[in-house]
Amino acid sequence: MCIDADRLWDTLLKLARIGAYVDARTGLSGVNRLALTDADADGRRQVMAWFGEAGLEVRVDRVGNVIGRRAGRFDHLAPVMSGSHIDSVPTGGAFDGALGVIGALEVVRSLNDAGVVTRRPIEIAFFTDEEGCRFGTDMLGSAVACGRLPLDVALDLTDKHGLRMGDELARIGFQGEAEERLTPRHAYVEVHIEQGPVLAAAEMDLGVVSGVQGISWWELTVRGRSAHAGTTPMSLRRDPGVAVARLHLALDAMARSGRFGPEMRATMGRYDAHPGLVNVVPSRVICTVDLRNPDDDQMARAEAAFAEEVATIERDLQVTIEREQTARTDRVPFAPVVQAIIARHMDALGLRHATLLSGAGHDAQELAAVCPTAMIFVPGLHEGISHNPREMSTPAACARGVEVLYRTLVELAEEG
Amino acid sequence: MCIDADRLWDTLLKLARIGAYVDARTGLSGVNRLALTDADADGRRQVMAWFGEAGLEVRVDRVGNVIGRRAGRFDHLAPVMSGSHIDSVPTGGAFDGALGVIGALEVVRSLNDAGVVTRRPIEIAFFTDEEGCRFGTDMLGSAVACGRLPLDVALDLTDKHGLRMGDELARIGFQGEAEERLTPRHAYVEVHIEQGPVLAAAEMDLGVVSGVQGISWWELTVRGRSAHAGTTPMSLRRDPGVAVARLHLALDAMARSGRFGPEMRATMGRYDAHPGLVNVVPSRVICTVDLRNPDDDQMARAEAAFAEEVATIERDLQVTIEREQTARTDRVPFAPVVQAIIARHMDALGLRHATLLSGAGHDAQELAAVCPTAMIFVPGLHEGISHNPREMSTPAACARGVEVLYRTLVELAEEG
């Protein structure tokens, strides 16, 4: 093996201690490095220090992305890039994002140990707020770097407490001065845990990711009429919570029906009733909807069916439903040429691998706009649970993924 | 008229300024005097001061109930009592509870103005945390005073921040030393806004309340399995939010079906998903259920149907549902003899009145355990909306209700 599996695992666990918490119910240790919090800042400083110790030239751009550069023999050539993110959901685990960043760092450390200087420069990065949990837009830093989102729009986003993204970035000391827009890179490869059950169920060692399914996020404000739970006859109610319940079941049934393909997914992850009291019919409920589909036409049909359901419920229950789209990406196909290189190295290592589409969004889908891109998936334990303290992979699986990353990056960095 | 309608209205509005807030969306002025907060304490001190200025001998009991006593000609006789509460839901209005307390104060002020001394003493009171929004048990102070709830159980209740009721009572300076258990009173009469649409729809001036319907409150913890919204196939999910949505629609349909009588009511006023993120299937959802029924047998059947629905959903969706009953009262019938006196005074004043059962819980239902009790309902505007900044009544309607209260209390206080 070209990489040091123990050092990789050890560094992953060190990073997991930053923002660590113990889940009161299960006793498991989770990670909370919500973007641009103090814990995220601590993680950023640690990883930057590691980047520096590995001899990288480190820059922070104006949206807080941190990029470490390793010079090549022909240093004017477009770099090969790798990375991911170190922010987490508030109830996250040790691998999501971190494996891609620490894996890329391990590649650089191993190149240093071996005294290899590649033809092209290599850049490794962690991007700001990939999760999107805080400011409502996922892949925030990479979306700005790759041109999907203007810088000022990103900086002006606010969290649920009204705090501005740009102010929080400055507060933690990560509003850098480097240009945020990436010029075309030679290629981008990201290693990431699968966050799903497919590879483990098929007894695969690794996955080659052929793209990312389409994502459609919505925030809904459902307004009815507040009323006293004891005195208001059922016939006089306009309960926004009943509307949300009906919509929730309708979306769940839609996703299970097969009408939008076998991989349609629909989730309502958040719902807040106002005022939220046992004996008051709420005046309004705010909820979120997350739709996923690997097929753009099916997704468009699912979105139309969702809009129709909303209109029907508004009419039936005499409520109003405002819908705001908070994220929307079409399916992103990855570069077959990069997938082929990844698969060849897996074969050479005797690893069983499958090609699959990612169900989750990743920074790689933004990078795909500026260069040939693909991803390597490492299977997780516990049916691939992620965004949870139970998120777990094995040292061997992580090492396999990063070994393939090493070989793939070196091959790409030697290309003319 | 025996009472001063302007003084009554003016005092009501003065009290409404304590804990006042402006609803950001509607611009309406609401009241937030959640029990044992600083705003509640400010309201308590103001009303105590008014009690003192009216010449009452004021005592605070060990659960924070405040009682003002006006001596009678035969001062050893059991007093006639009136009152209500001044705490509010966090998004309340100016009338719920306040009208009963300020109305009773207006009766005392008018007796003072007229130089009337009644045969029996008169006591007016405001009871601690009638709403139950903070510590999860409604009619808390009156329930302790009338023997339904032991004092130490009440003091040991905690709010959602883990703050203990007894500590909060001490913090705001209202843990008094007077005995909290009420010896039998001669009678109790409470005036209150209707909080419903019945009287206005029937074009009635006032209502005579014949009792309070049964109340059954529950807090449910629904546990499933957290999962990534993008990667977890629908078939592998155990989403507690889908279970809550199904239960919500089932309860709504039950209440509307007529199977549990025409006045069955079911409300789910609060639901919190954990972790509550757009792209995470929740691991658990906490929600509340409020059931009401004027018929005890129908309520028991409704509770059984609710339990059955819960078991079915647990089985179908592979979730677990823990149910904790947070409040439970049977229908409370009020004393026909007190209702008859109230109705006679309404007739004498030429007021149109109807007899109705209360849909909401009231301190009077606790007092009914220690003496003959009844209530006077004053209709509200806007279909009787309550627990909301739109809660509203008119000066004329409030004055009518308090005039009848005056005459009823005087008649009862002259009884042998």
Which residues in chain B touch residue A245, judged by CB atoms under 8 angstroms apart?
Answer: 244-246, 248-249, 252, 268
pLDDT of residue A375: 98
Q: Is the pLDDT of residue A405 over 90?
A: yes
Q: What is the pLDDT of residues A131-148, one digit of tens each?
A: 998 998 889 999 999 999
Residue with structure tokens 């044992």?
B36
List, as ranges, residues 30-59 from B with C-beta within 8 Å of A: none
CB B157 within 8 A of CB B38: no
* pLDDT (average), residues A297-306: 98
Residue with structure tokens 């009619």?
B139
Which of A283, A311, A329 is the endpoint of a domain? Answer: A329
List, as ranges, residues 352-381 from A with C-beta within 8 Å of B: 358-361
Residue with structure tokens 């003496």?
B371
Q: What is the pLDDT of residues B216-271, one digit of tens each?
A: 999 999 999 988 899 888 998 999 999 999 999 999 999 999 999 999 999 999 99
Considering only alpha carbons, which residue of chain A is nearest residue B385? A227
Coil, strand, or helix at residue A399?
Answer: helix
Q: What is the value of ipTM here, to two decimals? A: 0.77
Beta strand pairing status for B122-126 and B80-84?
parallel
What is the dihedral sign for C-alpha B294, B298, B301, B305?
A: negative
User: Which residues on neighbouring strands pair with residue A225, listed in sequence order?
Assistant: A238
Query: d(Cα A14, Cα A293) in Å, to the nearest integer?
Result: 36
We report the CATH number of the domain holding residue A56 as 3.40.630.10
Q: Is the pLDDT of residue B282 over 90?
A: yes
pLDDT of residue A318: 96
Query: d(Cα B394, Cα B381) in Å, to the nearest integer?
Result: 8
- Dig out the tokens for B87 from the structure: 């705490």
With 0.80 as the threshold, say if the pTM is over it: no
Q: Cβ contact (<8 Å) for A275 and B217? A: no
* pLDDT (average), residues A344-368: 95
Residues B84-110, buried b or exposed e (16+ Cβ, 10 A)?
A: bbbbbbbbbbbbbbbbbbbbbbbbbbb
Distances (CA, A) of A312 to A45, A102, A247, B249: 51, 49, 10, 16
Q: Cβ contact (<8 Å) for A388 and B226? A: yes
Coil, strand, or helix at residue A264?
Answer: coil
User: Could you tell me if A90 lies within 8 Å of chain B, comparing CB atoms?
Assistant: yes
Same domain, B162 and B293: no
Q: Is the pLDDT of residue B302 over 90?
A: yes
The continuous run of DSSP H or E covering A67 comes out as strand A66-70
Q: Cβ contact (<8 Å) for A228 and B359? A: yes
We report the CATH number of the domain holding residue B222 as 3.30.70.360
Virtual torsion, Cα B163, B164, B170, B172, nearest 10 deg: 40
pLDDT of residue B191: 98
User: Could you tell me if B248 lies within 8 Å of chain A, comparing CB atoms?
Assistant: yes
Same domain, A241 and A343: no
Q: Cβ contact (<8 Å) for B228 and A278? A: no
Same domain, B205 and B350: yes
User: Other C-beta atoms within 10 Å of A207: how many?
Assistant: 26
Same domain, A70 and A196: yes
pLDDT of residue B327: 86
Query: d(Cα B130, Cα B197) in Å, to the nearest integer?
Result: 22
Q: Which residue in B125, B95, B185 sits closest to B392, CA to CA?
A: B95
**Helices A38-53 & A5-16, crossing angle to 10 degrees?**
150
Q: Is the pLDDT of residue B14 over 90?
A: yes
Question: If you ran DSSP here, which 8-state letter would residue B370 be given?
Answer: T
Q: What is the pLDDT of residues A270-300, one digit of tens each?
A: 999 999 999 899 999 999 999 999 999 999 9
For residue A246, give the nearest of B228, B249, B275 by CB distance. B249
| Phi, psi of A18, rounded to the nearest 5 degrees | -85, 115
Considering only alpha carbons, which residue of chain B is nearest residue A270? B276
> DSSP H helical segments within A191-257, as ranges?
198-201, 240-257
Beta strand pairing status for B187-193 and B80-84?
parallel
| Average model confidence (pLDDT) across chain A | 95
CB B8 within 8 A of CB B404: no
User: Other C-beta atoms within 10 Å of A147: how many?
Assistant: 13
Residue B257: partners with Cβ closer than 8 Å, 6 or more residues away? none
Which residues in chain A touch residue B195, judged by CB atoms under 8 angstroms apart?
Answer: 228, 230-231
Q: What is the pLDDT of residues B85-122, one digit of tens each?
A: 999 999 999 999 999 999 999 999 999 999 999 999 99
User: Could you tell me if A310 lies within 8 Å of chain B, comparing CB atoms?
Assistant: no
CB B382 within 8 A of CB A227: no
Query: d(Cα B103, Cα B191) in Å, to the nearest integer?
Result: 7
A97: region left, alpha or beta (phi > 0 left; psi from -120 to 50 alpha): left
Coil, strand, or helix at residue B368?
Answer: coil
Query: d(Cα A128, Cα B410) in Å, to the nearest integer?
Result: 73
User: Could you tell me if B256 lies within 8 Å of chain A, comparing CB atoms?
Assistant: yes
List, as ranges, residues 133-172 from B with C-beta within 8 Å of A: 133, 136, 138
User: Could you tell me if A383 lies within 8 Å of chain B, comparing CB atoms?
Assistant: yes
* pLDDT (average), residues A322-350: 96
pLDDT class of A206 with cuts at 50, 70, 90: very high
pLDDT of residue A369: 94
Q: Is the pLDDT of residue B329 over 90?
A: no
Coil, strand, or helix at residue A350?
Answer: coil
B25 CB-side CA count, 13 A: 9
Same domain, B91 and B26: yes
Q: Which has more pLDDT, B201 or B19?
A: B19
User: Which residues on neighbouring strands pair with residue B271, listed in sequence order?
Assistant: B287
CB B165 within 8 A of CB B36: yes
* pLDDT (average), residues A188-208: 94
List, as ranges, residues 325-344 from A with C-beta within 8 Å of B: 326
* pLDDT (average), residues A398-415: 98
Beta strand pairing status for B187-193 and B373-378?
parallel
Coil, strand, or helix at residue B181?
Answer: coil
Percent of chain B with pLDDT over 70: 100
User: Could you tell me if B279 lies within 8 Å of chain A, comparing CB atoms?
Assistant: yes
Q: What is the pLDDT of residues A311-320, one digit of tens each?
A: 999 999 999 9
Query: d(Cα B292, Cα B306) in Å, to the nearest integer?
Result: 13
| Average model confidence (pLDDT) across chain B | 95
Coil, strand, or helix at residue B275?
Answer: coil
Residue B389 structural domain: 5-212+333-414
Query: d(Cα A14, Cα A46) in Å, to the nearest integer?
Result: 9
Q: Cβ contact (<8 Å) for A246 and B245? A: yes
CB B79 within 8 A of CB B186: yes
Q: Is the pLDDT of residue B284 over 90?
A: yes
pLDDT of residue B50: 98
Concatenating the DSSP letter of every residue in B1-42 gives --S-HHHHHHHHHHHHTTTEEE-TTT--EEE---TTSHHHHH
User: Other C-beta atoms within 10 Å of B257: how many?
Assistant: 11
Mean pLDDT check: name the lowest of A89-98, A384-393, B340-349.
A384-393
Q: Cβ contact (<8 Å) for B228 and A359? A: yes
For residue B269, give the nearest of A248, A252, A277 by CB distance. A277
CB A4 within 8 A of CB A106: yes
A32 CB-side CA count, 13 A: 11
For residue A229, give the nearest of B269, B277, B326 by CB distance. B269
Considering only alpha carbons, which residue of chain A is nearest residue B90? A275
Distances (CA, A) of A340 to A121, A315, A334, A411, B358: 22, 52, 11, 12, 74
pLDDT of residue B179: 97
CB A84 within 8 A of CB A362: yes
Coil, strand, or helix at residue B319?
Answer: coil
Q: Is the pLDDT of residue A154 over 90?
A: yes
* pLDDT (average), residues B62-77: 98
> DSSP H helical segments within B156-283, as ranges?
165-171, 198-201, 240-257
Cis peptide bond prior to B275, omega within 30° of 0: yes
Query: d(Cα B390, Cα B365) in Å, to the nearest integer?
Result: 26
The continuous run of DSSP H or E covering B407 comes out as helix B395-414
Same domain, A226 and A272: yes
Q: Which residue in B358, B365, B341, B373 sits closest to B81, CA to CA?
A: B373
Q: Cβ contact (<8 Å) for A279 and B132? A: yes
pLDDT of residue A98: 98
What is the dihedral sign for C-alpha B102, B381, A282, B14?
A: negative
pLDDT of residue A179: 97
Which residues in chain A touch residue B252, judged by CB atoms under 8 angstroms apart?
Answer: 234, 239, 242, 245
Which of A329, A351, A369 is the endpoint of a domain? Answer: A329
Same domain, A199 and A314: no
Å between A188 CA and nearest CA of chain B: 22
Q: Cβ contact (<8 Å) for B232 and A279? A: no
The continuous run of DSSP H or E covering A274 comes out as strand A271-274
Which of A312, A329, A346 is the endpoint of a domain? Answer: A329
CB B166 within 8 A of CB B178: no
Residues A165-187, buried b or exposed e (16+ Cβ, 10 A)?
A: bbebbeebebbbeeebebeebbb
To test the contact with chain A by mutation, choose from B228, B234, B246 the residue with the greatest count of A C-beta atoms within 10 A, namely: B228
Cis peptide bond prior to B336, omega within 30° of 0: no
User: Could you tell me if B200 lies within 8 Å of chain A, comparing CB atoms?
Assistant: no
Number of domains in chain B: 2
CB B364 within 8 A of CB B188: yes
Q: Which residue in A65, A23, A21 sits closest to A47, CA to CA?
A: A65
Same domain, B47 and B176: yes
Coil, strand, or helix at residue A180?
Answer: coil
Same domain, B127 and B275: no
Question: If you ran DSSP here, which 8-state letter would residue B205 be given?
Answer: S
Same domain, B119 and B203: yes
CB A247 within 8 A of CB A255: no
Same domain, A166 and A308: no
* pLDDT (average), residues A251-271: 96
Q: Cβ contact (<8 Å) for B273 and A275? A: no
Considering only alpha carbons, which residue of chain A is nearest residue B388? A226
pLDDT of residue B135: 93
Considering only alpha carbons, which residue of chain B is nearest residue A294? B230
The continuous run of DSSP H or E covering A192 comes out as strand A187-193
Residue with structure tokens 């954990």?
B274
pLDDT of residue A199: 93
pLDDT of residue B381: 87
* pLDDT (average), residues A15-41: 93
pLDDT class of A390 with cuts at 50, 70, 90: confident
Same domain, B299 and B352: no
- Dig out the tokens for B160 from the structure: 């959602």
pLDDT of residue A196: 87
